Each structure stands twice: as structure tokens, then as C-alpha cells.
Amino acid sequence: MKTIILEDIPLITLVGPPNSGKTTLFNYLSGQNYKTVNYPGATVEYSISKIQKKFNFNANILDSPGIISLIPNSPDEKVSVDSLYSHPRYGVPDLIIVTVDASQLSRHLLLVRQLIESKFNVIIALTMTDILQRKGFEISSNLLSQKLRCDVVLIDGRSGEGVENLIQIVDKNIESSKLIGKKNPVVLDSNLDIKYLLNSYKEIEEIEKEVISCPKNAGEKINLKRANRQLKVLNEAISGNNQLDQSTLKIDKILLHKFWGLGIFFLMMAVTFTSIFWLAQPVMDLVDSGFGLFSYEVIKILGNTWYGNFIANGIVGGTGAVLVFVPQILILFLILGLLEDTGYLARGAMLIDKPLSKIGLNGRSFVPMFSGFACAIPAILSTRTIPNKRERLLTIFIIPLMSCSARLPVYALLLAFLFPANKAWIAGLVLAGIYILSILSSVTVAGIVNKFKNKIINAEDRSSFILELPAYRVPKFGMVITNSYHSAKMYFRKAGPIILVLSSVIWFLTYFPDYNPKVDTHNLSRDQAIELQSSVRLQHSYASDLGKFIEPVMTPLGMDWRVGVSLISAFAAREVFVSSLAMIFKVTDDKATLQSSMIHEMRKATIEGTGQKLFTPATIAGLIVFFIFALQCVSTLAVSRKETGSWRMPAIQFLMFTSLAYIFTVVTVNGLRILGVP
């Protein structure tokens, strides 16, 4: 592939093990002004940006997935390592900044040694020095620089301390490399023998002993061997001098307890999803009122013409019906960011490793599954970090069952129908139950699929799970808020155009061909006349023709064609279900807010020909169950096909999950009615 260097700007690549502060440093250097893209020919993502102007240094900076060695152990790592030797777009980097956790020096220096041996131009950015200081130790960056023969800089990527010094050293290195020319890196032999590794770790151990000191008790040596007595290590001979973070150990005794740990995990989930309703409600009301007022004013100005109806209902009403739930989505991203920044997500992976092992998975699947709460697409892409093919495919198979943020507007509307606004805490607890049910259903399906793995997922069984737990840290709230904002913005970019297009299509289907029906509107107010015209128009619309074709399928669910059309439209994006209902039930003008207007129309709706209420507690519960199980996102199927290499798994996912959704919805609705629930 032809190498392209944009504007001949130097390329600086950030490299480092997971949880070493690499992405935090990237965010600080880029000022969050970056774009995330896929490597050409791969689904592994990297982020690229120019260093922000305040540093007065013109260079591209690239951040890719964390690696622990130049010998890759998964498809994700292979793409990252290969890109170091020659990035498919930018070529060989002019400089590599490798982030090293000062409190995990013995484990992180192997990557540094390999980069230096490969002839890369390397600068070490030492992070987490505050954790080392809390243990009572300090590190000599000058001595470490002499031992490794490369520049070493102490930094804090969250506060920016030491970053100015790092930029100055980067500038000096870039200028030097221009004089001597860029070196071609040497590819390491992938078949490194155990003797090489043991010698490397022995040398690293000696370096660590020399560069880390204990100023408070100069004569006391740090004894990692004693501290790690309860840990299983690969080779006791390579155990160096270190000391575990005592506060982290004390917290882990509670959070990683085999009983209390899982209890606290589920309690945190309950608090999380209760907060989504409780904290977001005031802002939702404000956004809702804004869209409702906007829609009303459009109708007033343009009148009840086709173009006035299109803008008020198709554009404003359709998009507003979904965007009103933005505060809840933002809070979800915020809480997920806080959990990650504190170091708790890694504990979640460790907690759930044992239960997952019973169904053929391990703790590595936790982060992709948990990411599925935000969006299934990046969650499926993140499975590339799972080295075992069978576990990777099984994780991809069950991720669509995790309740993503696109389902949140649907759940929020349906729960708002069931519970009044002054009892948001009840809706929050039910929402937590929905998410727990999605986890339990995914685990159950994984267990069943694992029993038939040779028929559905045919791949190797050997697997292992080794995880380095980061120390607990107080999150940087400013950075978490900024990251949440960017995550929400990416969600809007992905969902916004789909919602806009689908809302317009649904409006067209519900408005035409009989867009101006002649009905008797004598003795009716203006609003009543508009409502009657809308009802007659809907009965003669294209949407009605389509819906009545599928109505026999909806009857066992206790629903009619209008809900069927909304469910079909949700295949493009789950949240479109809400805007589709808004279109079909002609949620308009004179109501206080869009959401209250929708709920009002839903309460009035009856099944044509029977007069029975369309939306009841039983049918609402059935819809919730349907969305828990149904795979209704075409983008998820496309990514699943790309990651698995064929349409076989996406086809099985679609047929299996849609069938389960339909069967469980029939059972839920009719079961509740038998029990006396209307």
C-alpha cells in the first residue's frame, strides 16, 4: 500500500500497556480535538489529532489500542503492532512516546526494551508517579534514562504536569532525527524463547532496584516476592522489589469479595439506572417543552398544510420525540466514564470471570459486554482484544442482547406510561431490573449456545485470563464530563441522520396518498377538526396498507398494525420506534410537551374494530420484553458480519433473537391478562 504523509508533518505515536495513562495523555495533548477511525482493512480503531496550538508544536499524534509487547497475542494487538512498523496511512512514526506506569515498572519495561531493540526513536513518559509516592517511594528519571539510553519524562496526563517538558524533549528528538534521517525499524522474531524473556526480566529487575528508592527508610528494600506471596507468578526468580498499594488492597477485599462483590456490583447498577431517571427528569422536561413549543409555533405560522405538517410533525416532532431522552443518555455515558476512570471496570471483569467461565467465556468478555450498554457496534469491535476465537465469536453473538443506549428512549417512554413522574424512582428500579434481565438473558443464551458450540461456533477451546488491575484513583471529573460529551456527540452523529430520514419516511407513509380528506367538521373546534382529519388520513395512508398486511402477526401480541409499523421502522435504529409512534399517533401542537402528548395519545388509542385499549400495562410490559430480546439494528448485523467473516452468525442472531422476542412477548401479554392484569 502506498504510504501517505499528510503535509509532511511529523508523526508521533503513543504506545503503552492498558491502564498506563496513554489515552489520558493523548486527550491532554490533542485537547479532545481528534477523530477516531479504523485502520484500513481492519475494524481496530485509532485516534489521530494535531497537538493543540497552545504547545506551539506542529505534529500529528496517534493513539492506538494498548499493547504489552511487540509480540501480538490477539488480532487487535497484531494490527496495532504492524502499524508501528508501517502505518497504512502515515508510514513509520518519527517518534514513539511510550507510557510506563511507574508503580508497575517491572512489567511495563519489557515493551520499552523491545521498542528500543527494534530501533525506534523512543521517549518514555512515566505516569502514575503519585501512586508510587503514596507507597513511600520515588523514581529517578535521570538514572532510568541512563540505563535505557533514551529520554525519560515524569508526567501527569490528567493535570498536565510535566507535559510542557515532554513537548520540549519531543521537539529536540524530532530535530535530531531530521539530521540523521529516519531509521527503518527491525521486526522482532515472534518465536522468542523463554531464556530470552527470563534474561530480559532479570535485567529489568536490576534496573528497577537501582532507579526506585525509599527516602523515608533508605535501608529498607522493597520486597515484591513477599508482597506477592498469595499471587501466582510465572517465575519467582523474576520477582523484583515493589510494594502493593495498601489502600487498593483494602478496597478490593470488599469490592472483590466472592459474595459482597457481586452484591455491590448489582447495587451500583440499581443506583445507576435510578439516577438516569431521577437526575435527568428536570432537563428532559425543559427539552421536551422546547420541542413542543417549537412544533406548535410552526403549525401556527405555516398552518395545517402539508409542508407545515411535515416540518412540525415529521422534522420537529419526529426528532424531538427521541432527542428529549438525550439527558438520560448523557448521564449513562457519564456514569460509565466514572466507573472506568476509578479503575472499577477492571474489577468488574475479575468479578464476573468465574460466572462467565461456566458458560464458555472469561473476564475478557466483560468490557465488550458492558460497552454494549452504550452501543453494540463499538462493543462488537472491542472483542478484537479477546485472543481466543471461540470466546470472541460467542461474545459477539450475545452482545446484541445487552440493552444499548438506543433502547433507552424506548424504555423511558414505556416506563413513563406506566409510572407517574412523581415516582421516577420506581421507574428507575424497573429500568435497573430490565438491564439485569438483559445480562441474565445474554448469559443464558451464551450457556445454551456453548452446549451446541460445534454447530453454531466451531473454534478452539483453549483459553486463559490474566488481568492487571490498576490502582484506584479519584476520577478527573472535568475529563470524564468532556469524554461523556464526545461520546454523546458521536451518538448524535450516528443516530441523528437515521432518525431524521426515518421520521421523514414515516411521515410520508402516514400522510399520503389522501393528504386532504373531506370529513364533516361541523360543530368541532379547530383542534378537534385537525385530529379527526389526521385520523381519517391515517386510515387511508400507505402506512395503514403496510400495517394491515402484518396485522395478523400483531394480533397475538394484543396490538394492532400501528405498533407493527413502528416495530418495523425500529429495525433501522431502535430509538426510531419512539418517533414512529409520534408520527402515527399524530402527536402535535396544543399539548404541553411532546412526551406528555405522546402518553396522552397512547392512553386514548384503541384497537380498530374492537374498541379495546391498545396500550395497557400488559401490552406495555410485552413491548419492553420484545425490545430486551429483539435484534432490530441493521448496523449491528452489518458489523457482526464483518467481524465474523460471513452472514451465518448474523442470520442466526436475527432469527433466534427475533423469534425469542416474539414468543416471550406473546407469553408476557397473555400471561399477564390471565393473571388479571389488563
Residue 420 Ramachandran class (φ > 0 left, ψ -120 to 50 alpha, else beta): beta
How much is the average pLDDT of 196-212?
Answer: 81
Question: What's the pLDDT at 464?
Answer: 55
According to DSSP, the residues that pair with 60 across neighbouring strands are 11, 50
Question: Best-predicted range by mean pLDDT among 1-10, 95-104, 486-495?
Answer: 95-104
pLDDT in tens, 406-458: 788 888 889 888 887 677 677 878 888 888 888 888 888 888 887 765 555 55
Q: Is the Cβ–Cβ distance between 370 and 348 less than 8 Å?
A: yes
Residues in contact with 53: Cβ distance below 8 Å, sequence separation at least 6, in sequence order = none
Q: Could you give the angle at the alpha carbon of 340 between the alpha carbons of 11 and 52, nearest 5°?
A: 30
Residue whose C-alpha is closest to residue 90's, from 176, 203, 6: 6
pLDDT in tens, 557-585: 888 888 888 887 777 667 778 777 877 77
Spell out the alpha helix ranges (H) of 157-302.
Answer: 163-180, 194-211, 224-227, 246-255, 260-302
Distance CA 269, CA 209 (A): 43
The residue type found at 344 is: Y
Q: Which three cell numbers stand for residue 461?
A: 477451546
Tell me which DSSP letter residue 95 carries.
Answer: E
| 1 — pLDDT class (breaks 50, 70, 90) | very low
Q: Which three cell numbers stand for residue 10?
A: 511529523
Q: Which three cell numbers stand for residue 359?
A: 458458560
Sign, CA dihedral 476-482-486-491, equals positive
pLDDT in tens, 622-653: 999 999 998 867 777 877 887 777 788 888 88
| 217 — pLDDT class (breaks 50, 70, 90) | very low
How much is the average pLDDT of 656-662?
Answer: 91
The residue type found at 227 is: A
Question: What's the pLDDT at 16?
Answer: 87
Q: Could you give the angle at the alpha carbon of 644 between the alpha carbons of 639 and 650, nearest 5°?
A: 65
Chain-centre distance for alpha carbon 105: 30
pLDDT in tens, 516-547: 556 555 665 565 565 556 666 666 777 777 77
The full DSSP string for 380-399 is: HHGGGG---HHHHHHHHHHG
Per-domain residue ranges of the chain: 6-212, 260-406+422-477, 494-674
Question: What's the pLDDT at 227?
Answer: 41
| 671 — pLDDT class (breaks 50, 70, 90) | very high
How much is the average pLDDT of 506-510?
Answer: 75
Does position 141 have pLDDT exceeding 60, yes or no? Answer: yes
Pairing type for strands 212-213 and 138-139 reads antiparallel
pLDDT in tens, 230-261: 333 333 333 333 444 567 777 878 887 777 87
pLDDT in tens, 10-35: 888 888 887 788 878 888 888 765 55
Kindly tell me the burial class for residue 186, based on how many C-beta atoms sit within 10 Å of its own C-beta (0-12, 13-18, 19 or more). Answer: exposed
Does position 603 have pLDDT exceeding 80, yes or no? Answer: yes
Determine the 3-state secondary structure of 230 from DSSP: coil
pLDDT in tens, 344-396: 777 777 777 777 777 777 777 777 787 777 677 767 766 766 767 778 888 88
Beta carbons within 10 angstroms of residue 619's beta carbon:
24
- In this structure, the dihedral spanned by the alpha carbons of residues 633, 638, 644 and 646, taken in order and rounded to 10 degrees, is 120
Does position 469 have pLDDT exceeding 70, yes or no? Answer: no
Distance CA 466, CA 468 (A): 7
| Secondary structure in 3-state letters for 399-430 | HHHCCCHHHHHHHHHHHHHHCCHHHHHHHHHH
Tell me which DSSP letter residue 304 carries.
Answer: S
Spell out the alpha helix ranges (H) of 540-593.
Answer: 542-554, 561-569, 576-584
Residue 514 Ramachandran class (φ > 0 left, ψ -120 to 50 alpha, else beta): beta
Question: What's the pLDDT at 36?
Answer: 55
Q: Which three cell numbers stand for residue 64?
A: 492506538
How much is the average pLDDT of 497-501?
Answer: 72
Pairing type for strands 60-63 and 11-15 reads parallel
- CATH architecture, domain defined by 6-212: 3-Layer(aba) Sandwich (3.40)
Determine the 3-state secondary structure of 588 from DSSP: coil
How much is the average pLDDT of 190-211?
Answer: 77
Question: What's the pLDDT at 178?
Answer: 67
Question: What's the pLDDT at 3?
Answer: 40
Q: How many CA atoms lie within 13 A of 90 on its CB side?
A: 25
Question: What's the pLDDT at 404?
Answer: 80
In percent, the amount of the chain with pLDDT more than 70 equals 75
pLDDT in tens, 332-344: 778 777 877 787 7
Determine the 3-state secondary structure of 166 from DSSP: helix
Question: What's the pLDDT at 190?
Answer: 61
Question: What's the pLDDT at 670?
Answer: 93
Residues in contact with 405: Cβ distance below 8 Å, sequence separation at least 6, in sequence order = 329, 332, 333, 373, 374, 375, 491
Kindly tell me the burial class for residue 9, based on how many C-beta atoms sit within 10 Å of its own C-beta (0-12, 13-18, 19 or more). Answer: middle
Question: What's the pLDDT at 384?
Answer: 67
Q: Which three cell numbers stand for residue 283?
A: 432537563
pLDDT in tens, 471-483: 777 777 777 777 7
Q: Which three cell numbers stand for residue 343?
A: 479503575
Does position 146 have pLDDT exceeding 50, yes or no? Answer: yes
Q: Mean pLDDT over all residues of the chain?
A: 75
Kindly tell me the burial class for residue 671, based on how many C-beta atoms sit within 10 Å of its own C-beta (0-12, 13-18, 19 or more). Answer: middle
Q: Which three cell numbers stand for residue 116?
A: 528500543
Q: Is the Cβ–Cβ distance between 48 and 37 less than 8 Å?
A: yes
pLDDT in tens, 81-106: 888 887 777 888 888 999 988 888 87
Does position 665 have pLDDT exceeding 90, yes or no? Answer: yes
**Which residue do the cell numbers 412540525 mark?**
312
Beta carbons within 10 angstroms of residue 548's beta carbon:
16
How much is the average pLDDT of 489-494?
Answer: 69
pLDDT in tens, 583-596: 777 655 444 566 77
Does position 2 have pLDDT exceeding 70, yes or no? Answer: no
